[in-house]
Structure 1
Amino acid sequence: MQRKDIAKRLADGVSAKLEFDYVCERGQSFSEYHLHGVMNEIIGAITSPTDFRIHSGYAHDALARDVDQNVGRRREVDFYIQAYRTGMTDICIEAKWAESGHCKWDRILLDLCRLALVSQHSPTTECLFVLSGPTKKVDAVLKSLENKMPLRKYRGAARGILEIPDQNRNPHPRHYRLRDWAGRFAGNELVLNALPKKKDGRPNIPVKINTALVRSSGTRSMNWQTTVWRIF
């Protein structure tokens, strides 16, 4: 399985499956749980069980606490696709359903931080962030991010962490130093408490987050939109 192939297939396949399920009168069950089921179905179809093992809700070593390791539940990523063979790539995925009450800027930032920590811990791991849902709702979520630090633009022409899809512009990698906005985490207990802790008890905030827009399915005329970013 190629590194870029799974991101493309998730972007196109998830939106296509949502459209199929909607036509089949399954729209009332749409949720983050349903999204995870669709993603699991696609991942399982394009990965060989002899080469990969698919973990759902995986407590990655990069998210383990340096202190009190035996206290409380370990932090998890939504999917961890573990390669069995040498030369194959592990894949780590966080996903958000745009209509979910959990799809807020701080929880998205937390997902990006977790993926950045995984990438820092294991640079060869493919880390992906997936945002999916009704096109209008996905657009609304992306627009709302522009007003929240450190996701929004800052310092004049400088840009935030995630590039918003634009059919008239080629995507470019973004490199964002979270250290520049470390003070913005102060008071945000959701993010701070959910990050793993260092030995001195402080939250392990990544120094930087590198992202690249990989694929966004369809156009604004489609009912469903799925966008995938790579975190590295």
Structure 2
Amino acid sequence: MQRKDIGKRLADGVSAKLEFDYICERGQSFSEYHLHGVMNEIIGAITSPTDFRIHSGYAHDALAKDDNQSIGRPREVDFYIKSYRSSLTDICVEAKWAESGHCRWDRVLLDLCRLALIRKHSPTTECLFVLSGPTKKVCALMKSLENNMPIRKLGGRLFGILETPDANRNPAPRPYRLRDWGGRFAGNELVLNALPKKKNGRPNIPVKIMTALVRSSVTRTGNWQTIVWRIS
């Protein structure tokens, strides 16, 4: 059975589990590895093993090099939930733990690019980006994205690549062009080197990324927050 609300389930479930684990004195083990374990538990519980297979650290075809070079580790997506039936859709998920030292705006951008490439390669695949961690760290990462990436204008409103949750505003899909932002890409070797290469050796940068806020969930104490966006 296909879970249409998997993004919402992840947002609510991850935050709730973090709150539970912290109360149970497990906070010292919190990390991206812990986050992946929580997500794997939730995904496994809400998807049928007869309909889906859950892959962790999956080398998706959309992330493979096109330059005929096989040097280095294949580029992977954090989760790939492969459907066994044509009536169901595949699901790809990238996740970031906000307190991690490598949870920076440029690595978030890299994850979004990878999901956009997967979506272009497989238009029916559900692609989700999950950001989770201490609420203060999540807010700091969102602020860093605003400070480091150009703000766009659409319909008289200014916006960044990911919509910040706002209780007074209904979420809406937003297109964010990347190809006309070559200057900043040229100075960021981390993003360029981690993207798949075309046959001409240049990085495969998506023309644009379409994002939509799915759900933001904050725990009762306000200590933990999980935000999920859909990428296309």
TM-score (norm 2): 0.95
Which residue of structure 2 lines up, in the alignment, with residue 161 of structure 1?
A: 161
Instruction: Give the superposed CA RMSD.
Output: 1.5
Equivalent residues in 2 for 1:54-73 (5 A)?
Answer: 54-73=54-73
Per-residue deviation, residues 67-89 of structure 1 (Å, max 9, x unmatched): 13422111000000000011101
Which residue of structure 1 lines up, in the alignment, with residue 180 of structure 2?
A: 180
Equivalent residues in 2 for 1:22-171 (5 A)?
Answer: 22-150=22-150, 153-154=151-152, 157-171=157-171
Per-residue deviation, residues 38-85 of structure 1 (Å, max 9, x unmatched): 000000001111100000000000000011342211100000000001
Per-residue deviation, residues 187-223 of structure 1 (Å, max 9, x unmatched): 2100000000000000000011000000000379521
Q: Distance in 2 between matches of 1:2 and 1:180?
A: 37
Contact 1:3 1:126 in 2 (8 A): no
Q: Distance in 2 between matches of 1:13 and 1:220?
A: 13
Quote how far apart the aligned CAs of 1:2 are: 4.6
Q: Count residues with an aligned counterpart.
A: 230
Contact 1:66 1:198 in 2 (8 A): yes
Inter-CA distance 190–229: structure 2 relative to 1 (3 Å threshold): same
Which residue of structure 1 lines up, in the alignment, with residue 196 of structure 2?
A: 196
Can you give the 5+ residue segments of structure 2 that lack an aligned partner in the other structure? none
Contact 1:96 1:132 in 2 (8 A): yes
Quote how far apart the aligned CAs of 1:3 are: 5.6
Q: Distance in 2 between matches of 1:169 and 1:37?
A: 32
Per-residue deviation, residues 109-157 of structure 1 (Å, max 9, x unmatched): 000000000000001000000000011111111112110124xx24584
Contact 1:135 1:220 in 2 (8 A): no
Which residue of structure 1 lines up, in the alignment, with residue 217 of structure 2?
A: 217
Contact 2:110 2:195 in 1 (8 A): yes
Q: Distance in 2 between matches of 1:154 and 1:181?
A: 11
TM-score (norm 1): 0.95
Can you give the 5+ residue segments of structure 1 that lack an aligned partner in the other structure? none
Contact 1:98 1:137 in 2 (8 A): yes
Helix, strand or coil at the partner of 1:228: strand
Please tell me the residue identity of whatever aligns with 1:164: T
Q: Distance in 2 between matches of 1:187 and 1:220?
A: 41
Aligned structure 1 segments of 4 or more residues deviating by more than 3 angstroms: 1-4, 154-158
Contact 1:115 1:128 in 2 (8 A): yes
Contact 2:93 2:128 in 1 (8 A): yes
